[in-house]
Structure 1
Amino acid sequence: MRTVGVVVNREKPGADATLKRLCDLLSSEGVAVVTADTEQLATDEVTGDMFQTVELAFILGGDGTLLGAARKLAPWNVPLLGINLGHLGFLSEADPGNLHDTVRRVVQQDYDLEKRLVLTATVLRRDEICASFLGINDVAIAKGSFARMVTVDVHVDDVWVDSFRGDGVLVSTPTGSTAYSLSCGGPIVVPHVQAILITPICPHTLVSRPCVIDSEQTIKLVVRAAHEDVGLTVDGQVGFPLLPDDVVTVGRSPVEVTLVKWRDREFFSVLRKKLRFADETV
């Protein structure tokens, strides 16, 4: 029997009703379902082990739900199919209004699998590793709530690039190029490009600009601040407090995220629809 997984964010409106409809449709097609909710994933009550035998996992929620599930399930290489119950749903392929068609495509395997680059970030304090993270969208070093700037020394492959003074520095994947990085003036990068973006956050200079490097290069970020109101944020969801002189190393992770993509859904058409990149009538 074919088996799929479902991860549901029960805090989203209509989540339980959508889950029931989805499970009923899959059951009518003879597909078994393994379910978990985001709270179980967050507290490690459920790990990727239970999804090892599934051919893909439906993620019921918004983009944040998919990012959180992706960080947990990436080591198990579980393909993820987002069903948007949130606001933007840029990473999702479906919504509750087209569940019948979604299940039909999955049953007929009418989809492609798209690999996405993942970042790994390691925090070194006095030459000792004190934390490590996976990032699907981005890794940011940024000041906290007080209006005091930070300086971040940026090195690529141990070569000094620049010292960015401002609100911080953002390191993004192509997937994250349409998220926080875009708001900071970073470029849009199509998902299949093997690259990493370095984008200053509100730089206090006229010459600091985003930089695109090869995905195999390693970035070293050194925190220079006279205060301790600075932190590391991963995908806008996971936070870690930083101290002056902490070193954050960011590079390509050996694991990747696999997204289920419809063959008739093209990247720039999604941009136009979701981000109003251009006149939607064009």
Structure 2
Amino acid sequence: MKRIGLAVNPTKPNAIPVTKTLVELIERHGAHAFVDEESAAKIGRPELGISQDQFPTSVEILFVLGGDGTILGFARQFAKPGLPMLGINLGHLGFLSEAEPEDMENAVQRVLAGDYCLEERLMLQAQVVRGGRVVHEAVGLNDVAIAKGSFGRMVTNRVYVDDMYVDQYTGDGLLLSTPTGSTAYSLSCGGPVVSPHIDVIVLTPICPHTLHARPMVIAANQEVRVEVEATHDELVLSVDGQLFYELENHDVIHVREAGYKTTLIKWRDREFFDVLRRKLHVAT
């Protein structure tokens, strides 16, 4: 019998009633549901509650109820133990989600029938080195951004790939993205859309103050080193737009593929390019 975990973003509209309905659907189809403790209490089923730390050892699959940001957060938490996640969209875009609240019963039936595939998504590991010592370290599913934090200031990022000098980019910053993140911040900065089925890293300058700066795609097994220079101290490193670390002049950032990937549950009949057209409103 399947054991399905429900990780809920309680700040989303209708999160609690949707969670209650989903639990009823899972139980109706003969599976066990486990819910994060806060949400279990809110739906009046405290006996189903477990801590989020228990999900990797207690469930086989995790349903994530929220938007893309919710999935990014849980990806950083549950990718390492290899817990497969199915996104149920309670947000706006829902690019990473595979189901909507109105088709949850179909999603439950497909999962219980094994009618899905597992898609592994590249993650990036970032380290901030200061004075020869690692002061910050984080892993993200979408992107790592090195940026200035104030309007009207610029930052210079000197970039090396596998210790080979590439170029330096002066402007608002530099973005390093996975294929998953290529449809997020990188896309708005003029970066390419990359199929999630290949493992590469996209380097996209953010508002570069030069005509020749262009996005670049490198192999995922290459390491990027970025040396930061600025005449001010308002610098920041962000991971997935959710984790933020203050940077200092002359910090060195190392970015490489993480030692594990995010595992997403996907429908076999739902192609990436179909989702791309629909979610980004591309005319057909």
TM-score, length-scaled by structure 2: 0.94
2:248 partner SS: coil
State the identity as a percent.
51
Moved over 2 A (4+): 45-53
Select 1:89's aligned residue among 94, 104, 116.
Answer: 94
Q: Is the 8 A contact 2:159 2:224 kept in 1?
A: yes
CA distance change for structure 1 residues 268 and 14 in 2, over 3 Å: closer, same or farther? same
- Structure 2: distance between partners of 1:5 and 1:30: 14
The question of 1:185 aligning with 2:190 is answered yes
The question of 1:7 aligning with 2:7 is answered yes
The answer for the alignment partner of 2:141 in structure 1 is 136
- Deviations along 1:56-113, one digit per CA (max 9) or x if unpaired, are 1000000000000000111110011000000000000001010111111111111000
CA distance change for structure 1 residues 37 and 162 in 2, over 3 Å: closer, same or farther? farther
- Structure 1: distance between partners of 2:82 and 2:127: 22
Amino acid at match of 2:7: V
- Structure 1: distance between partners of 2:269 and 2:126: 34
The answer for the alignment partner of 1:42 in structure 2 is none
Matches within 5 A, 1:158-237: 158-237=163-242
- Deviations along 1:17-43, one digit per CA (max 9) or x if unpaired, are 00000000001112111222799xxxx
Amino acid at match of 1:139: V
1:72 partner SS: helix
The answer for the alignment partner of 1:33 in structure 2 is 33
The answer for the alignment partner of 2:42 in structure 1 is none
- Structure 2: distance between partners of 1:149 and 1:247: 17
Q: Is the 8 A contact 2:36 2:52 kept in 1?
A: no
Return the offset for 1:51: 2.4
Return the offset for 1:239: 0.3
- Structure 2: distance between partners of 1:12 and 1:146: 31
- Structure 1: distance between partners of 2:78 and 2:68: 15
- Structure 1: distance between partners of 2:37 and 2:158: 40
Return the offset for 1:152: 0.5
1:268 partner SS: helix
What RMSD over aligned residues (CA atoms) do the two structures have, in Å?
1.4
Select 2:106's aligned residue among 101, 109, 130.
Answer: 101
CA distance change for structure 1 residues 37 and 201 in 2, over 3 Å: closer, same or farther? farther
Matches within 5 A, 1:116-127: 116-127=121-132
Q: Is the 8 A contact 1:9 1:37 kept in 2?
A: no
- Structure 2: distance between partners of 1:172 and 1:102: 30
Q: Is the 8 A contact 1:81 1:93 kept in 2?
A: yes
Amino acid at match of 1:71: R
2:208 partner SS: coil
Amino acid at match of 1:80: M
- Structure 2: distance between partners of 1:124 and 1:49: 33
- Deviations along 1:113-164, one digit per CA (max 9) or x if unpaired, are 0000010000101010111000100000001133100000110001110110
Q: Is the 8 A contact 1:48 1:73 kept in 2?
A: no
The question of 1:21 aligning with 2:21 is answered yes
2:80 partner SS: helix
- Structure 2: distance between partners of 1:186 and 1:38: 39
The question of 1:51 aligning with 2:43 is answered no
Unaligned runs of 5+ in 1: 40-44
